[in-house]
Amino acid sequence: MVHFVGAGPGAKDLITIRGKELIEKADVIIYAGSLVNPALLDYAGEACDIYDSSRLNLDEVIEIIKSAEKLGKETVRLHTGDPSIYGAIREQMDILDRENIVYDVTPGVSSFCGAAASLQMEYTLPGITQSVIITRMDGRTGVPEKESVEALSAHGATMVFFLSAGDTKRLSDRLIAGGVSGDTPCAIVYKATWPDEKKLVCTIKELPEKAKEYGITKTALIIVGKAVAQSGYELSRLYAPEFTTEFRKGNA
């Protein structure tokens, strides 16, 4: 059987208990070496065969899985963050379906949650925005026109850009072209929750220069929107003293 496991954003103790137990029991681990913290492999047993998928293509990954299956072995396919976000798991699961290989998926803490924790920020501040847009700028992989940086900018929601730290000048220009004010706060979080994490808050205008100053070109998230300032919001209704909820009577 194959277990797709979310490794979490980086810190060794931010994998789920289920994910850790699957690693401990695995006969074979295929991990995304470009982004998964190798410290997580410390949980693996001594006899476990470990492969770094950053050096493999899809066919090679599938071959390793098929060989393990023939020997009745358990394989863990370890993906960074949560596998559902830019994880390229659908294509693997479709092949496993065709090969009649059974699999399951264990979620992980996505890096966008790790980054919010590092920044100690709340993405959805009442009175500012109630939405988070998880997206990326187009690169070698295209993005549908309706989801272009310019189009999504119109919403005023908090935006989290994955896979976009390589060209912060283009991102900044396109946000401004989409109507986001150059003074809008943004944050860059490099290797969120790893020991060598770097983070900074600046404005959209300053983004390219700050990314350069900090030497950040990859393994980073860029978070954009008024919520990054973490001020000027309204208090939640949920905890308002006068507000009655299903569980609590208000004092109004």
By C-beta, is 110 or 184 nearer to ligand SAH? 110
CA 53 to CA 31: how far, in whole Å?
Answer: 6
Q: To the nearest whole angstrom, how small is the minimum distance from the Cβ of residue 105 to ligand SAH? A: 12
By C-beta, is 19 or 69 nearer to ligand SAH? 19
Q: Which residue is nearest to ligand SAH (CB)?
A: 81
How wide is the angle at C-alpha 95 spanned by C-alphas 91 and 100, nearest 5°? Answer: 145
Q: To the nearest whole angstrom, how small is the minimum distance from the Cβ of residue 158 to ligand SAH? A: 16
What are the start-end ranges of the E strands in 102-167?
103-106, 132-136, 158-162
Strands 198-203 and 220-224, how do they pair? unpaired
Nearest to 87 by CA among 156, 27, 30, 130: 30
CA 84 to CA 47: how far, in whole Å?
Answer: 29
φ, ψ of residue 153 in degrees (nearest 5)? -60, -25
By C-beta, is 182 or 195 nearer to ligand SAH? 195
50: three-class secondary structure by DSSP:
strand
By C-beta, is 35 or 240 nearer to ligand SAH? 35
CB atoms within 10 A of CB 55: 9
Residue ranges in 150-189 that form contacts with ligand SAH under rule CB under 6 A: 162-163, 189
Nearest to 172 by CA among 203, 133, 148: 203
Residue in 16, 18, 25, 35 binding ligand SAH, rule: CB under 6 A: 35
Site string for ligand SAH, 190-209 (x = CB under 6 A): -xxxx---------------
CA 221 to CA 231: how far, in whole Å?
Answer: 21
Q: Site for ligand SAH (CB under 6 A): how many residues? A: 24
CA 28 to CA 51: how far, in whole Å?
Answer: 8
By C-beta, is 141 or 251 nearer to ligand SAH? 141
Q: To the nearest whole angstrom, how small is the minimum distance from the Cβ of residue 199 to ligand SAH? A: 9
Q: To the nearest whole angstrom, how small is the minimum distance from the Cβ of residue 115 to ligand SAH? A: 6
Site string for ligand SAH, 80-119 (x = CB under 6 A): xxx--xxx----------------------xx--xx----
Q: Residues in the site for ligand SAH, rule: CB under 6 A?
A: 9-10, 35, 79-82, 85-87, 110-111, 114-115, 162-163, 189, 191-194, 219-221
